[in-house]
Chain A
Amino acid sequence: MTLFLSFARSLPLPGRIGLFLVCFWLLAALAGPLLAPYAVGAFVDYDVFSPMSGKFWLGSDYLGRDVLSRLLWGARYTVFLGLGAALLASVTGTSLALVAAVHKGWVDEVVSRTMDTLISIPSKVFALVMVAAFGSSLWLLLLIAAVTYVPGNFRIARAIALDLAAMDYVTFARAQGETPIRIALGEILPNMLHPLLADLGLRFVFIVLLLSGLSFLGLGVQPPHADLGSLVRENISGITEGAPAIIAPALAIATLTVGANLLIHALKKGKTA
């Protein structure tokens, strides 16, 4: 705990705000279902798009369900699915990029062309086929989102890694007889972390959008559950009334992504200073 506090103190103000927002949403995702006042699919209000009240803190949605409860459940999907998929995509993409950059030649060629093939498949169509073949499940969604964003991360990581692989310190390591793994992880990767973290933040936002798009098509998180993106979508008609049912999940997405990016940006600064 003290370690965490000293870490928080080392960050500049925007970083602390980011850290707070990320922690807030992580807690919401973890403890949300315990805190939710109503069941996620229960119709509890006779009115739809009702405003904030003591009974329904964030009002009710287009079917008269409690928005707060749905938000707390939804955070779980968005945070874990989005973050999980973004991490999976980045780790896979970067690992492949390092293999390509260290070995070069035909290895690079094979991996790069495979990635080009993957990038040419439209993500929604790919998701459709996968869901049709295996049925919708959370693991499958995670995998789809990750696979969709691996090539993008791979391209960025490969470009950076190739540049770094031409540096003298990598040449020196090779002349010492260091193993390729050691060169990739010990010499190249530490210099790639900052741009990769920025990329991770970006991918995370994309994945949240992809997941909500999939949910809209009925391929994503299955009703009555919904992730934050689909909460926005399903309540879109409430926008004319300024209903909290649409504003709350939109704000949730905004604070989560902005928070994540603020934190990442602060980490970058903290490292270079």
Chain B
Amino acid sequence: MTLAAPETHQNVTRRGQITVSGLRIVVGPPDAERAIVEDVSFAIEPGRTLALIGESGSGKSTIALSLAGYARPGARIAGGTIEVGGERVDLMDGKALRGLRGRRVAYVAQSAAAAFNPSRTIMAQVIEPLLVHRLASRKEAMARARRIFASLSLPDPENIGERYPHQLSGGQLQRLMAAMALITGPELLIFDEPTTALDVTTQVEVLKAFKAAIAESGATAVYVCHDLPVVAQMADEVLVLQNGRTKEAGSLGTVFGTPADPYTRALLAAADHGGLTRLPRPEQECVPLLRIDGLSAGYGKIRDGRPEVPILEDVSLLCGRGEAVGVIGESGSGKSTLAKVVAGLVPLADGEVLLDGTPLPADLGGRSREQFRKVQLVFQHAETALNPVKTVGELLARPLALHHGIRGAAAQKRVAELLDLIQLPAATAARNIRALSGGQKQRVNLARALAAEPELLICDEVTSALDTIVGQAILELIDSLRRDLGIAVMFISHDISTVRTFCDRIMVLYGGRAVESATCAAFARGPHHPYTRLLLESVPQMDPAWLASSAARAAGTGLPLNREICRFEPRCVSAIRGRCNCEAPPLRQSQGHGQNHTWLCHHPVEALGAE
């Protein structure tokens, strides 16, 4: 990447040429301002893609938005120059900016579900930029939109525009938002974490569509992302940021291949999941703590062991003392419902949940104080799981008083110990929960569950809302607690690579059924259920050629109407016609290894192939 020194013979500015130099963005009143972006310079050649990477708070989104002349409320572009196609964006007034945005610079946000107006059709919203800027008639605009829908490989491009946002999936909405950005043929596209909220299998399709669309439109792109393997697929150039300052810049190959800055190296190490240090544990005798047998659960009235809206069906799971069990699945697989059933928040319709050999009562009313204490839930979003009016000390003291009757000075002492355990200073106890960062909140969230001295810790996607490095630290913390305190952990995640390195047993859920379950060792050996294989193949790799080589998975979507047959059948590339779509899949067991490895599939072991 050339840094901000335009060569003299190249005075003719080209469409799509982006030049930023000495950018400084500040927050706060003029007399007490604080720079959140300081002295950032870069240039992007037309048609190239620059990725901005770094942790949250590194200023990557702020810089991306400044290219559209936008600063979030409270922030100001205080210095430096921003040129898009030869024009100074930082000098533009409101009217000029309105002409720029949506026409020459377009933005694709993280959450498409929140960015679409739920009460208008997709078409009305996608063609809006063209109509607002009077670039085309309604008819032309709609024709252009349909062409873009087709190029983004959206299903039924002719009619998808007539639908409303709630009728479409997250991955489809994300692509439709890209369609909205592409429709005016902008010279600069800004992608702000566009696939972070998606499942891995969906992410692959969306990334492919984006990459093709960027190449076809010829636009320059800025791609903001904290997921480095994704960056490796999308970017030509990389800019590494920390606390609003440039750490390293260069071409993708150089920065990822031979990182010069220690921070870049730390990021790369965290992205490589092998970085999680986990001692290989000797295969020991399993003392069962939690045993789930033939569990069915869901929402609505329960009749004859079947709820009105069934979510989980016939799920069995074993978790020994001090073991970590991973439950993997994408959104809608029922993994959170499973956590809630064990915690007693969702009544089970059929089957049994045994804790220490005694069945857990189906609803909260029947549980004893001890049972409440033994099972502790850690929620995904610490923001909503911790009451915002309370201080850290109050939050941690409550379970102590409730479960152990510890109050007063003894409780304060214990709170300090807990804070020490999660590596936060003791003074944090007096702070309001709102004053903490995301990672600190998640630690408090964890400490509150530990305060009860549980035997089973259910962690529901505890790291997915966090940055790679912070998430890594939380994972290591949970793992060390499991080892030191002997707490069993049920680890629920959509991230198969984390679960693999972290857990003793693995269960893969799809459409509410356990399609595969195995011990970690057996899982490593394979063979795998076709869905598990798809999951494994969908995890982005650091190899830039990965996206192009990963097979297209545009088989059907959704779950089959017939609840008896394999739930994955509509999406399965190796489904056997006449068998998979007619009969219930048998529960198969791997032979020979003496390992506990089961999966639900018509294919025999040989057909699935061991690694």
Residues of A within 8 A of B (CB): 167-169, 171-172, 174-178, 187, 190-191
Quick check: B369 and A177 within 8 Å, CB to CB? yes
Known: A176-B399, A176-B452, A178-B402. A169 touches B345 (CB 8 A): no
Interface string of B509-527 (1 = CB under 8 A from A): 0000000000000000000
Quick check: B387 and A176 within 8 Å, CB to CB? no
Cα-based distance from A206 to B384 in the complex (angstroms): 35
Residue of B nearest to A167 (CB): B384
Interface string of B357-378 (1 = CB under 8 A from A): 0000000100101001001010
Cα-based distance from A168 to B381 in the complex (angstroms): 8
Cα-based distance from A190 to B432 in the complex (angstroms): 14
16 contacts between A and B (CB under 8 A): A169-B387, A172-B377, A172-B379, A172-B385, A174-B345, A174-B364, A175-B343, A175-B344, A175-B345, A175-B377, A176-B403, A177-B367, A177-B402, A178-B402, A191-B387, A191-B388
Residues of A within 8 A of B389 (CB): 190-191
Known: A175-B343, A176-B402, A191-B389. A168 touches B367 (CB 8 A): no
Q: B224 to nearest A CB, angstroms?
A: 28
Q: A161 to nearest B CB, angstroms?
A: 14
Chain B contact-residue range equals 20 to 34
Cα-based distance from A191 to B433 in the complex (angstroms): 13
Q: B390 to nearest A CB, angstroms?
A: 8
Quick check: A187 and B387 within 8 Å, CB to CB? yes
Known: A176-B372, A176-B452, A177-B364. A169 touches B384 (CB 8 A): yes
Residues of B within 8 A of A191 (CB): 387-389
Q: B34 to nearest A CB, angstroms?
A: 18
Cα-based distance from A199 to B344 in the complex (angstroms): 36
Cα-based distance from A190 to B394 in the complex (angstroms): 13
Quick check: A169 and B369 within 8 Å, CB to CB? no
Residues of B within 8 A of A190 (CB): 387, 389-390
Which residues of chain B from 213 to 233 have a CB within 8 Å of any chain A CB?
none
Residues of B within 8 A of A169 (CB): 384-387
A-B contact sample (7 more), CB < 8 A, given A171-B345, A174-B345, A190-B389: A167-B384, A168-B381, A171-B379, A172-B379, A175-B364, A176-B403, A177-B367
Q: A20 to nearest B CB, angstroms?
A: 28
Cα-based distance from A177 to B390 in the complex (angstroms): 19
Residues of A within 8 A of B385 (CB): 168-169, 172
Residues of B within 8 A of A172 (CB): 377, 379, 385
Which residues of chain B from 381 to 425 have a CB within 8 Å of any chain A CB?
381, 384-390, 399, 402-403
Q: A172 to nearest B CB, angstroms?
A: 6
Q: A90 to nearest B CB, angstroms?
A: 19
Residue of B nearest to A271 (CB): B389
Residue of B nearest to A182 (CB): B402
Interface string of B321-354 (1 = CB under 8 A from A): 0000000000000000000000111000000000
Q: A175 to nearest B CB, angstroms?
A: 5
The 9 closest A-B pairs by CB, nearest first: A177-B372, A168-B385, A190-B389, A168-B384, A169-B387, A175-B343, A168-B379, A175-B377, A167-B384
Cα-based distance from A190 to B369 in the complex (angstroms): 25
Cα-based distance from A167 to B385 in the complex (angstroms): 7
Which residues of chain B from 197 to 213 have a CB within 8 Å of any chain A CB?
none
Residue of B nearest to A178 (CB): B402
Q: B538 to nearest A CB, angstroms?
A: 28
Residues of A within 8 A of B403 (CB): 176
Residue of B nearest to A187 (CB): B387
Cα-based distance from A178 to B387 in the complex (angstroms): 14
Q: A105 to nearest B CB, angstroms?
A: 12
Residues of B within 8 A of A178 (CB): 402
Cα-based distance from A190 to B344 in the complex (angstroms): 26
Cα-based distance from A174 to B402 in the complex (angstroms): 12
Q: Which has the most chain A C-beta neighbours within 10 Å: B367, B375, B402?
A: B402
Q: B548 to nearest A CB, angstroms?
A: 40
Q: A239 to nearest B CB, angstroms?
A: 46
Q: A173 to nearest B CB, angstroms?
A: 8
Cα-based distance from A191 to B389 in the complex (angstroms): 7
Residues of A within 8 A of B372 (CB): 175-177
Cα-based distance from A190 to B391 in the complex (angstroms): 13
Residues of B within 8 A of A167 (CB): 384
Residues of A within 8 A of B399 (CB): 176
Cα-based distance from A100 to B372 in the complex (angstroms): 25
Residues of B within 8 A of A177 (CB): 364, 367, 369, 372, 402
Cα-based distance from A168 to B372 in the complex (angstroms): 17
Q: Which has the most chain B C-beta neighbours within 10 Å: A175, A177, A178?
A: A175
Q: A192 to nearest B CB, angstroms?
A: 10
Residues of A within 8 A of B379 (CB): 168, 171-172
Residues of A within 8 A of B388 (CB): 191
Residues of A within 8 A of B386 (CB): 169
Residue of B nearest to A190 (CB): B389
Q: B74 to nearest A CB, angstroms?
A: 15
Cα-based distance from A167 to B389 in the complex (angstroms): 13
Cα-based distance from A176 to B384 in the complex (angstroms): 16
Q: B432 to nearest A CB, angstroms?
A: 10
Q: B275 to nearest A CB, angstroms?
A: 30
Interface string of B13-46 (1 = CB under 8 A from A): 0000000000000000000000000000000000
Residues of B within 8 A of A187 (CB): 387
Residues of A within 8 A of B402 (CB): 176-178
Q: Which has the most chain B C-beta neighbours within 10 Å: A168, A172, A190, A191?
A: A172
Interface string of B521-550 (1 = CB under 8 A from A): 000000000000000000000000000000
Cα-based distance from A123 to B94 in the complex (angstroms): 52
Cα-based distance from A172 to B378 in the complex (angstroms): 8
Residues of B within 8 A of A175 (CB): 343-345, 364, 372, 375, 377
Residues of A within 8 A of B384 (CB): 167-169
Residues of A within 8 A of B377 (CB): 172, 175
Interface string of B445-487 (1 = CB under 8 A from A): 0000000100000000000000000000000000000000000
Residue of A nearest to B460 (CB): A168
Cα-based distance from A190 to B386 in the complex (angstroms): 13
